[in-house]
Amino acid sequence: MAKPLFRGVCASTVTPFNSDGSLRLDLLPAHVEWILSEGVSAISPLGSSGEFCALEIEDRKRVLEAALAACNGRVPVVAGTHCYSTKHTVELSKHAERAGADALLIVPPYYMAPTPSQAMDHYRRIAEAISIPIVLYHNIPLTAIDLKTEHLVKLFEEKVIAGVKMSNPEPDRICQLLQATRGELVVYAGLDTVAFEGLCHGAHGWISGIPSIVPRAARELYEAIAVNGDLQRARAQWNRLAPLMRLQFSSYLNQGEGSHWFSVMKATLNLIGPPVGDPVPPVLPLSGSARKELGKILSDLGYPSK
């Protein structure tokens, strides 16, 4: 029997690289250890933050194996096994299950924009090949696929998926899904811009940028809402976290120039935790002015820069 999906805050681990784009797996154990010390409920290697799209298939397997070894069963591991082709996604998913992952995180097939029914069949083929739970990573901007509530409910009823990471800027999409499945489908807030609203709607957890770079602060918000029902405390904590959200997603919110979310993520981790290297180009390190702003925000959250 597969374990139930986690509840709480999940950190997406990043992949350390050298300046030439080669892997620095020797940096991964300290990164995972720091995240675990922050009290996360789970980790998710090779999500968007793991820069999976910059890695070949065999390197993705190496990264996952290293993350699993570093975690050593202390929290559930939700492995990103997304790939455009169904064949390679099945290959990566089988490998993740054999390696010891507890669940899979899989974004819909990207770039070629298959129809919703074709994307649903993609997930069905993966589910036939493995026995651990699948969390569908709903991410319209980066896949051009919008599986509606009825599509997701059907996949859940068919026992193809067990959860959804809802990275949608409309909080009601989280609400719709929770209401349509009476809370039985595990739904995670997958975008920091709607994390507060999503958790208030009853999302079972939170997987996004803030839980991955300041997990302790993210956990405080989750517990205030989901565990203690303390809205006053939750509002106060969100007031502290919102500046980080706005800096991290400034280019996303502006639909153009601004700080790239992943530049902010790696800069944060390098400032307050063990080094993880810079993003792989074309994404570049955070600019000096934004780095100064970031340092103040982190200090206000109780994370002084090194």
Tokens for 261? 């979310």
299 backbone dihedrals φ, ψ, rounded to 5°: -60, -40
CA angle 260/166/63 to nearest 5° reads 65
Amino acid at 252: Y
CA gap 96, 89 in Å, rounded: 10
Q: Is 165 annotated as catalytic?
A: yes
Strands 163-166 and 186-189: parallel
Among 61, 123, 165, 222, which one carries the catalytic annotation? Answer: 165
Of 82, 12, 2, the C-alpha closest to 42 is 12
Among 61, 111, 123, 137, which one carries the catalytic annotation? Answer: 137
Of 230, 229, 225, 261, the C-alpha closest to 244 is 261
Strands 8-11 and 42-43: parallel
Of 141, 190, 145, 143, the C-alpha closest to 163 is 190
Q: CB of 145 within 8 A of CB of 116?
A: yes
CA gap 193, 16 in Å, rounded: 26
Which are the catalytic amino acids? 137, 165
